[in-house]
Structure 1
């Protein structure tokens, strides 16, 4: 089993490393002005908002600039779909996208919400999935791609530690249902389809309670 696990992780990381991103050069000061249109949902400090039972808005503060820029370009192209985000993304030109991405990347990461009421068993299961995965279900750990502490790895994998539980859960469900598919080689989709709804809630709750920054 350990040999199989090692092979799967290696394949997963190899697939991840093949995802190409264009270089993003932006000006954070200019981005602060443009980001005014984003603050109604993502808040002035980029902390986003967890909305139980509703649409949660992700924390953008502290995420990688290249990752943010790619998501905005994906909304423009239709590779990623969201009725609220697409009109705002289409308002921005390439330079404004680069500037907004640089601005949010320059902000200190804030703590996520949404896992406070989860019981110990749920959080323990969430921690297992995030840190070790579940090889009985061929589920790779989150940190295999999202890096140590799940705080992000390079330009491709965003930090998910300290992200809002509602947002993490919604994105995993979207990948599971095939609604979101802007990841190369269906990496996230293939993982999400193996995770039960209860496990999605568990890993989202645990990740929301983790520090987004190294102690």
Structure 2
């Protein structure tokens, strides 16, 4: 038998449910500034504007693809991307929080001058300049495509899946290339990066990493030379 009071109980239950506050979506900006669930604030290492910290080897996050950033956080949380520094932070955040903070950084303006950087792709390079050659021409004798083919002219990044390389710390870029060689990062789009990384020598990894790390400064110098009065150019 159904108690006569059941309809009233259902009505009261519905009223209480309607009155209960809806759970708010995670705030990516707040997580970046204050941390969450015991995880430290992202700005501690990655800067107040997501600009990174080259001296300490912490990469820029601002303007990176949201999908890329979320995938990296998820990979560090589940261990498929080995990161002693980030693993605990990524695990502390739940999936919705990881998505929120990824989208927050994706929406921040990049600190890069993408026009200046893109122009460097037209600047001639020589085989002896190993880093520039690999970035702009590749090493087809080893089936290594130019880095710019996927990461954009001047390493400015392309879409949601190919992050910017320009201005990232050399130690960070080199560390990630070596991580792919050792199977410590997911292979990424089309499974390209482990194959590329294993075909590069140690000196080539260091050279191309240093090239991209110094590219914003080099791009600014090239732009200044191009804009200088004719008599001032050397």
TM-score, structure 1 as length reference: 0.73
Partners in 2 of 1:89 and 1:182 — Cα distance? 19
How many aligned positions are there?
A: 177
Partners in 1 of 2:99 and 2:86 — Cα distance? 16
Instruction: Confirm or deny: 8 A CA contact 1:123 1:206 kept in the other structure.
Output: no
Matches within 5 A, 1:7-86: 30-36=27-33, 37-51=41-55, 56-86=57-87
Matches within 5 A, 1:112-123: none
Aligned to 1:155: 160
Per mean C-alpha deviation after superposition, the further-off stretch among 202-211 and 62-71 is: 202-211
Higher relative contact order at CA 8 Å, sep ≥6: structure 1 or structure 2? 1
Partners in 2 of 1:110 and 1:167 — Cα distance? 18
Instruction: Give the secondary structure class of the aligned counterpart of 1:109.
Output: coil
The structure where helix makes up a greater share of residues is 2
Misfit runs of 4+, over 3 Å: 120-123
Instruction: Confirm or deny: 8 A CA contact 1:49 1:58 kept in the other structure.
Output: yes
Aligned to 2:105: 104
Partners in 1 of 2:32 and 2:110 — Cα distance? 16
Task: Give unpaired runs (5+ residues) of structure 2.
Answer: 1-24, 34-40, 113-124, 224-234
Could you tell me how far 1:156 is from its partner in structure 2? 1.3
Matches within 5 A, 1:166-181: 166-181=171-186
CA RMSD of aligned residues (A): 2.8
Q: 1:202 and 1:102, CA in 2 relative to 1: closer, same or farther beyond 3 A?
A: same
Partners in 2 of 1:93 and 1:101 — Cα distance? 12
Partners in 2 of 1:139 and 1:63 — Cα distance? 24
Could you tell me how far 1:198 is from its partner in structure 2? 0.9
Instruction: Confirm or deny: 8 A CA contact 1:63 1:105 kept in the other structure.
Output: yes
Could you tell me how far 1:125 is from its partner in structure 2? 1.5
Aligned to 1:202: 207
Partners in 1 of 2:187 and 2:95 — Cα distance? 19
Q: Does 1:129 align with 2:130?
A: no
Task: Give unpaired runs (5+ residues) of structure 1.
Answer: 1-26, 112-119
Query: Max radius of gyration: which structure?
Result: 2
Residues 28-56 of structure 1 deviation map (CA, whole Å, 9 limit, x = unaligned):
x92111012111111222122234xxx62
Could you tell me how far 1:185 is from its partner in structure 2? 5.2
Could you tell me how far 1:58 is from its partner in structure 2? 1.1
Could you tell me how far 1:211 is from its partner in structure 2? 3.6
